[in-house]
Amino acid sequence: MRGAFAGSSTEDVGVSTPWRAVLVVWLLGAALMLAAGWGNFSPARFLDGDDALRLQQVRDLLAGQGWYDLTQYRIAPPDGVPMHWTRVVDLPIAGVILLLRPLIGAVQAEVVAIVLVPLLSLLAAMALTARLAARFFGASAGAIAALLVLMAVPASFRMMPLRIDHHAWQYVLALVALNGMVSRSARHGGALAGLALALSLAISLEALPLAVIFAGVCAVRLLRGDDRWLVAYMAGLALGGAALFLATRGVLDLVDYCDALSPVHLAAFLWVAVVCGLALPRLRTRPPALGVIALGLAGMGALAIMGLRAPQCLSADAFGALDPLVKRVWLGSVVEGLPFWRQGLVLGATMVLLPALGLLACWRLWRKAGDGQERALWIDMALLLGGATLIGLLVARASAVACLFAAVPAAWQVMDQIARWSAEPLLLRRLARVPLIMALFVPGAMVGVAVSAFDPPKAASHNSMQACNFAALAPQIAAMPRATILSGLDIGPTLLVTSQHTVVATAHHRASAAMRDLILAFLGPDYGARQIMARRGATLVVICPTGSESRVYRKLAPDGFMAHLVKGRAPDWLEPVPVDAKSGVKVWRVR
């Protein structure tokens, strides 16, 4: 190992990123992704509704909608939906479009943006992971770490072309925070980690559990006698969060939301930062128990602020205010929000095994550490990885952070096995070690191969965007007179981004009342759907009969409105609208 963390000299630590190796791996990965998706790079081909709505948000911004106005006016008419999103993620997409639009036109500029921006996030993740691995284990480990990022499906899947929603940038910022935690300067490293997670929180409050974990590791360092980490971290988190709130939300919307960074969160952060900044430096020469008491008071004060100002936000259920029907039908079907045991075999195994391999490597590195400082490093790395793993096991999309963190120690594990393979004199033993090395790169895939040898895999269940060809539908739906559409929650954003129509609802929880109306319309009787459409002003019905959402409605209500439409038993108050059969989509108009 080339060095440890805080206090190491520049001569002892290889801190440079192995850019040549990172670029080679990135170009290889990008080429594979581009080849796999070639011909499908279009706003009509998004794999997820959030990606489609992200592009629509960028379009609205470029068309003149206010920076602080995050309302989607074409969802849930007539008022629209005040989204819980942020302009931060819009910036790189809008920047690419503005740069290229004068050169290649608006349509092609959008295509380049939705392909290039996710790949840039992949490059950033590879570079940050490779930097850490190279710092500890050398340039070869950096190259292996970059390759492990590509193989970490929970992360790389959300950094593919067309995946322009916020998750990838939050993964990158988590890696920035991890780099900060191994800085040689406690003040600079702590502040960097705090600022990175403040920006991640400004993007989405999903980063809050991870921010708490980082604070906990800083508290562990306090118990070791160094309060600078926690003071700098909380200052970066609180001041950075406040500055980003003003920059992205302004002062006109000071409502305490539980699904976005709000004044109540900032007040709690600032309180903890002030207590740490004033009390901890004065307690350096005092017994450690006094520092723990000060932290306890800071934590209790933060909880009191939350409880007095926004008690609803203390609930463990982030969707506690969501309508019960919407929660049961929609939220329970969002696969990326479910735990690992509700995922497919390969993804679920990757969510478990790759972080487990990283934790095993941390333990081995701790055992072989040469001094107390190095042992402390791997304890802290294990705590950060362990906390991220626990979150990821419960929420699939969060498992990407654990997989990326694990890539750093796992790179050493791979190098160790390669060295053992190279030193093995017997050919048979060498051959036997090859599957083990492969398993370190793709543990989930190896489990899938092993299981499928005894139990053939079942047919994949496609979502609505994959089951239907909306690119074939786009020209016809765009040519129809502007109307409000009753469609599935998942396909609503694609209809928005490929036409000028309005939709009753999409899969975004702040439109809970509209989502309830849509679900009731498809689950209920035909006359009930007609009443809901009349109340919402909807005159078109668009469905993907083979999509997963329609299957959910048909399973819950075999004699409901959706079931009738799929079976070809549309009520007489609807007339079919002819569209391209290649789309697989069915459209009706109210007579």
Walk me through the domains of the chain, giving residue ranges and CATH numbers: 11-40+84-165 (no CATH), 166-316 (no CATH), 322-458 (no CATH), 467-590 (3.40.50.12610)
Quote the CA–CA distance of 357 and 403 in Å, as a whole number.
10
Peptide bond into 78 cis (omega under 30): yes
Which residues face 82 on adjacent strands?
Answer: 71
Tell me the mean pLDDT in the region 80-100.
Answer: 95
Residue 188, burial from CB neighbour count under 10 angstroms (0-12, 13-18, 19+): middle
- Give the pLDDT of residue 462: 59
Considering only 80-84, 85-89, 445-449, 531-535, which range has the smallest mean pLDDT? 445-449
Q: Give the pairing of strands 538-543 and 484-487.
A: parallel
Quote the CA–CA distance of 87 and 95 in Å, as a whole number.
12
pLDDT bin (cut points 50, 70, 90) of residue 14 is very low
Considering only 220-229, 241-250, 288-297, 507-516, which range has the smallest mean pLDDT? 288-297
Tell me the mean pLDDT in the region 82-100.
Answer: 95
Tell me the mean pLDDT in the region 411-422.
Answer: 86
pLDDT cut 70: percent of the chain above it: 93
- Give the pLDDT of residue 283: 85
Asked whether the predicted pLDDT for residue 15 surpasses 90, the reply is no
11: its two tokens: 């001569």
pLDDT for 220-272, tens place per residue? 999 898 899 999 999 999 999 999 999 999 888 888 988 899 999 999 999 99
pTM: 0.92
More confident: 444 or 244: 244
- Give the pLDDT of residue 589: 96
Asked whether the predicted pLDDT for residue 13 surpasses 50, the reply is no
- Dihedral over alpha carbons 144, 160, 339, 52 (to 10 degrees): 160
228: its two tokens: 């600078």
- Give the pLDDT of residue 505: 96
Quote the CA–CA distance of 351 and 429 in Å, as a whole number.
29
205: its two tokens: 């409050």
- Contact call for residues 506 and 587 (beta carbons, < 8 A): no
Helix axes 345-367, 443-452, angle to 10 degrees: 130
Asked whether the predicted pLDDT for residue 560 surpasses 80, the reply is yes
**How many alpha carbons fall within 13 Å on the CB side of residue 407?**
35
- Give the pLDDT of residue 110: 97
- Contact call for residues 573 and 561 (beta carbons, < 8 A): no
- Give the pLDDT of residue 492: 95
- Give the pLDDT of residue 7: 37
Rg (C-alpha) for the chain, rounded Å, is 26
Average pLDDT of the chain, as a whole number:
90
Residue 482, burial from CB neighbour count under 10 angstroms (0-12, 13-18, 19+): exposed
